[in-house]
Amino acid sequence: MTETTADQIAVAVEFTTAMHGLSPYTAFDLVAIAGAEGLYALRALDADVRLFLLEAGAVDPEYAPRIPAGIREEIGASDTDALRMFVIANPSDDGVHVNLRAPIVVHPDTGRAAQVILDDQDYPIRALLHGR
């Protein structure tokens, strides 16, 4: 962990492979946004690249897609390890949309991460958040 200000702590996150559209960047800091519970900025360490992430449980407490064993293995997580799960949030003129079909999982102890592309077509790529 690296401290960014007195109020913000940055957690180092290293993706096993670059996220779609963000190649070649794999090293990021995950920083909580003050005053917005569950909202984070994911900032590349070596470029001016930033995404907003929401804790998946803040979007929908029932959201619990199955993370394939291969992804868990990639980030060094056992079947029993609890992973932090996030979804990418995209603000637009009509509200904030989240991608529920491609969550980001982070091993809380090591910071190793991966973006999971789910086969489940029931999870939308662009879901509008209501009442947020």
90-127 tens-digit pLDDT: 988 989 999 999 999 999 999 999 999 998 888 999 99
Beta bridge partners of 13: 28
Spell out the residues 6+ positions from residue 20 whose beta carbon is closer than 8 angstroms to its own.
Answer: 102, 115, 117
CB distance 75 to 112 below 8 Å: yes
Of the CATH numbers 2.30.290.10, 2.120.10.80, 3.40.50.10070, 3.40.50.1950, which one belongs to the domain with range 2-128? 2.30.290.10
Q: 121 is written with which tokens?
A: 């077509």
Band (pLDDT 50/70/90 cuts) for residue 2 is very low
The per-residue pLDDT for range 59-79, each reduced to its tens digit, is 888 998 999 999 999 999 988
CA distance 23 to 34: 28
Count of other CB atoms within 10 angstroms of residue 47: 12
Band (pLDDT 50/70/90 cuts) for residue 7 is low
Q: Which range is least confidently modeled, 6-15, 37-46, 55-64, 116-125?
A: 6-15
Q: Would you kindly state where each structural domain of the chain is located, as residue ranges?
A: 2-128
